[in-house]
Amino acid sequence: MKSKRFMKPLTSPIHFHTAMIEQIPVAVFSDQELIGSGKIVEITDFAVKIGDEFYVLEACTFKFAG
């Protein structure tokens, strides 16, 4: 059974911190195109690090993938 959060957008800082703490996979989109996915390892004021890549918060859409 999929989580109730599956593919819901992360829209607030608490969503990003919850995903990081609970190790919930996140999908990253740019203009509807999937550009990355994985578990959040770092959050800054401007970007989210997933694996070895940083994704700019203002340029991407993040969705719960797990």
Q: Residue 7 falls within a domain, yes or no?
A: no
At 56, which CATH number?
2.30.30.100
27 is in which domain, residue-wise? 13-64
pLDDT digits (tens, 9 = 90+) for 45-65: 999 999 999 999 999 999 999
Number of folded domains that form the chain: 1
pTM: 0.90
Residue partners of 31: CB distance under 8 A and separation at least 6: none
Tokens of 35: 């550009």
Q: Contacts by 51-60 with C-beta closer than 8 Å and gap 24+?
A: 55/28, 59/30, 60/28, 60/29, 60/30, 60/35
Q: Residue 49 falls within a domain, yes or no?
A: yes
Q: Residue 5 falls within a domain, yes or no?
A: no
Percentage above 70 pLDDT, the chain = 95
Q: Residue 1 falls within a domain, yes or no?
A: no
